[in-house]
Chain A
Amino acid sequence: MESMEQVSTKPDNKKKKTKWEMLKKDLKKNKCIYLMAIPMIVYFILFHYMPMYGVLISFKDFNPRLGIWKSPWVGLKHFGTFFNSIYFKRTLKNTALLSFYSLLWGFPAAIILALLLNELKNEKFKRRIQTITYLPHFISLVVICGLIVDFTSTDGLINSILSNFGVEPTNWLTKPEWFRTIYIGSGLWQSIGWDSIIFLAALSGIDPSLYEAAKIDGAGRWKQMLHITLPALAPTIIVMFILNIGGLMSVGAQKVILLYNPLTWETSDVISSYVYRKGVQGAEYSFSTAVGLFESLIGFTLLIIANKLSKKITEESLW
C-alpha cells in the first residue's frame, strides 16, 4: 500500500521519464513479441486507420469528382436530417429492441446447444448433428426469407398447423406484433449451429481429469456442468458477450427488407432499412456515412461500458 502511494506522488516529469524508460525496457525485453506485432500493426494502419479519414464525408456534401478532401463542409447537416426525421425515434427503438431480443434469445441458445451436444454420448450422432445444424448458415438469406414468407402466408404451413387448433388463418408477416418473433426465430434457426461452434471448440479444451475427479466426489452431471464446464467456458462467453453488446446498434438491412412490408414498419423499420429506402431516392453517401458514424459511436460506447462492467464483476476484459 505505502509503496503504491509513493509512486503516485512522484513529480510529473520524473514519472514521464520512467514511462519512457519502462517502454524502452519493455521493447527490449519483449523484442520478439513486438516483432510479431509488426504485421498486425502494419495491417491495421494500412487498411483501417489510413482510410479512416473517410468519416469526414459525414460532415461534408460528398461529390465524387471533388473527392473527400475537397468536397464542401456542411457541418452537422446530415446528422440533423436524421435526428429531425419523424421516424428517427421509431427506427432507433426498433433497432435497439430487435437486436436486444436477438441477443437475449440467440446468445444463450448457442451456448445451450453446445452444452447439450457436450452431453451426448454417441460421438457419431453428435458429429452428425453438429454438421447439420450448421448447414442453414450457408443458405442465402434470399432463400431462407422466401421460405419464411411461404410458411407465414395465409395458406402457409404455420396456418395449416394452427387451424387444427381453431386459429383463424392470417398472414403473420403483416402483423407488427409478430415481426420480432419471426425475425428472431428464423435467425435462431439459421445461426444456432454456426454460433455454437466457437463454444464447442472451447469445450474440447477442458481437461477430462477434472470430470473424473468430480465423478469420484459424487457430483452429478448437473453439478459437473455448473462447476466445471461453465467456468471453463466463462472467458469465451464473456468476450463474445461483450463483442455482441458492441454490435447492438447495428442490424443489417438485407433480412429486414426481405421480411418487412409497410404494414409492419411500426416494429420492423430499423435504421439501416430506413437509410436504404432513403438511398433509393438518391445516392446518399454523406447521409449514410453520418448515420453509420452515429451507430458506431453508440456501439463503441456500449462496448466500453460492457467491458468496464465485466472487468469489475468478473475480472475478464478485452483490455
Chain B
Amino acid sequence: MKGKRVLSLILVVMLIMLSMVGCKKNETFTSDQDAEGGADGKVTIKYWVPFASNQYIQSLNESEMYKELEERTGVHVKFIHPAEGEEMEQFNLMLNSKELPDVIQTYAGQYKGGMDKAIEDGVYLRLNELIDQHAPNFKKLLEEDPELARQTMTDKGNIYAFPLVGIDPDEPAWWGPVFRGDWLEELDLEIPNTIDEWYNVLTQFKEKKNAKAPLVFSSRGIDPYGTIISAFNIGPGFYKKDNVVKYGPMEPEFKEYLATMNKWYNEDLIDKDFPTRDSNGRATLITSGDAGAYISEYAVVDQYQAAIAATDPNAKFIAAIQPSLKAGEKVNYRVVNERNGGYEAVITSSCKNPEAVVKWFDYAYSQEGFMLFNYGIEGKSYNMVDGEPQFTDLLTNNPDGLDFWTVCNKYKLEVGPYLRDYKAVPGFTDIDLDCMEQWTKAGTDHVIPPVNFTPEESETYSDIMGDVATFKDEMVLKFIVGEVPLSEFDNYVEQLKALEIEKVIDIYQEALNRYNNRKTN
C-alpha cells in the first residue's frame, strides 16, 4: 500500500540522517584531538578571541604576523572565533562546558563575580608567579609603571591577564568638541572656550547661518565623556573629587547644568530632535551642513570632513577645548586611555602548559615583539626609512584597492595583548593632530580609575542602578526639554536618595580605596 511505502521512506530518511549525525560526531572528535596533542612536539594554544572578519582575512589563523610569531617562538596557535554579535552569550555558554580553551581574550573580564572569583573558582590561573619566572619583559613593564601594575591586578593582589598596553603613557584624548571652522571665520568669531562663549557662538550660528541644529547633542542629555558638564566642576556619572566619590547627576552644580541646557534647548541652540537622534541621524545632520558644533572622536571627524566636502568644499571642522565656566579655568573630566588598555587575555585552568603560554605572551612586550605586533614583518609590511618604520604599499596603497583597516590584521595586530603604539597607523591628518592637542588640554583628576567590585557589591550595584538609571535618564531629558520645571530638582535628588543611590556611592568609595591601596611592588 502507498501509505506503507511513505512510512518506510520516512524511516529511511531518518536513519540516514541519524547515521550522518554519528559520522559527523566522530569527525569533530578526531579534529579536536589533533588540536590538543602537539604531534611534532610543538606547543599548541587554543585561543578564544572575538575577531571581525572581512573579505581579506577571515580568521587570525590566516595572519602572517602570527605565522611569523610561530617561527620565532615555536608555539602554534589555533584561534577560535565566536560568531560576531553575541560574543557575551557565547562566552557564558562556553563557561558551562567542562573543556575550556587555553586562552580567553577580551570577554574574560565578564566573568560573573569578578576576576578574584574566577581564580577562586579555579577557572582562570593566577599569573603572578608565572610572570615572575617566565615573563621578564612584561614584568619589567609592571615594575616601571606602578599605574599599569595597579590596573592589571585585583584587589586581592592577583595578576590575572595580559592586557593591551600603550607604549606612550600619555596617549592623547580621542573624544571632544568640534566646531564649523569656516562659519567661525566667516562670522569673525574666536573658537569658544567658555560656556558663555559657546552660547554666543551657537546663537550666532542659529541666527546668521540659519543652522537647524547649532549643537548636535547626545541623546541622553549628558555627554558620556563629560564635555560641557565638566565645566560645572562635576562628572557625567560617578566621579571623584580628592578621592571622594560623588554622583554628578545629584550634585547641586547639576542643577546649573540643566538650567543651561534647558535655556539652550528653548532657544533652539540644541538639535530639537536630540532625544531620538541615533548615530546615523547625527551623522546626517552634521554632514548635510545643518550643524554648527558636535562632540565626537577624531577618526569620525575625518569621515565627516570627507563627506561634507562632497557638497560644501569650504566646510571645515575645527577642534575646540572642553569649555569651562570662567576663561582659563581647568576642567577635570575627559576621556582617558587607561594604562590597562583592555583586550585582556587570561589563561584558563584547562591549559596544560601555562609556562609556555606565558613565555609566548611575554614576547609581545619585548622589543622585537613590539615591532612585529605594531608593524609586522620588515621588508613585507614595513621598511625602515630614516630609522622610522614606514608601512609598505601593501598596507597603505593595497593592490586590491582595500583600505588600511581591512588589510592590517593580516600583517600586524590591531588590538590585543601587546605593547601598542597608537601611532602605528599610516598617518594622522591635520585635523586629527589638532583634535588630540585641544582635547588633551582637559584634566583627568575627576575620573575614577577602573576599580573592582566584590561579587556582593556588583549585585547591589546592578540592583540599585537599574532603577536609578531609568529615573535619572527620564528626569534629565524632562528637565532639559522643560517638561518638568527645575523647581522640582530637589525632589528629584530626594527620589534618587530614596532609590538608595548613596549605597552605590559608598560601594564605589570602598572600591576606590581598595584600588588606591593595592600594593604594586
Contact = CB atoms under 8 A, between A and B. Distances in A.
- The answer to whether A and B assemble together is yes
Interface of A: 63-67, 81, 85-87, 146, 149, 152-155, 171, 173-174, 261-263, 265-266, 269, 274, 277-278, 281-285
A266 B477 CA distance: 13
Interface string B467-489: 10111011011100101000000
Interface in B115-141: 121, 123
Interface stretch (B88-96, B421-429, B440-448): B88-96
A86 B499 contact: yes
Contacts of A87: 467, 470
B461 A281 contact: yes
B220 interface: yes
B467 A261 contact: no
Nearest to A149: B276
A284 B462 contact: yes
A154 B121 CA distance: 54
The bracket for how many chain B residues form the interface is 35 or more
B466 interface: yes
Contact of A173 (B95, B110, B220, B276): B276
A284 B110 CA distance: 12
Most buried by B among A65, A261, A262, A263: A262
Contacts of B259: none
Contact of B113 (A63, A153, A266): A63
Looking at chain B's contact residues, is the secondary structure mostly helix, strand, loop, or mixed?
Answer: helix
A86 B475 CA distance: 15
Nearest to B110: A283
A65 B123 contact: yes
B434 interface: no
B463 interface: yes
Interface of B: 88, 92-93, 95-96, 110, 112-113, 121, 123, 212, 219-220, 272-273, 275-276, 278, 280-281, 458-459, 461-463, 465-467, 469-471, 473-474, 476-478, 481, 483, 499
A149 B281 CA distance: 9
8 closest A-B pairs by CB? A64-B95, A282-B462, A278-B466, A262-B473, A281-B462, A261-B275, A262-B474, A262-B477
13 contacts: A63-B112, A64-B96, A66-B121, A86-B471, A146-B280, A149-B276, A171-B275, A263-B481, A265-B470, A269-B470, A281-B469, A282-B458, A283-B92
A153 B466 contact: no
A265 to B, nearest CB: 5
B501 to A, nearest CB: 13
Given A262-B474, A278-B462, 16 more contacts: A63-B113, A67-B96, A85-B466, A153-B273, A173-B276, A174-B275, A261-B275, A262-B220, A263-B477, A263-B481, A265-B470, A277-B466, A281-B461, A282-B461, A283-B88, A283-B110
Contacts of A274: 466, 470
A85 B462 CA distance: 12
B275 A263 contact: yes
A66 B121 CA distance: 9
Contacts of B473: 262, 265
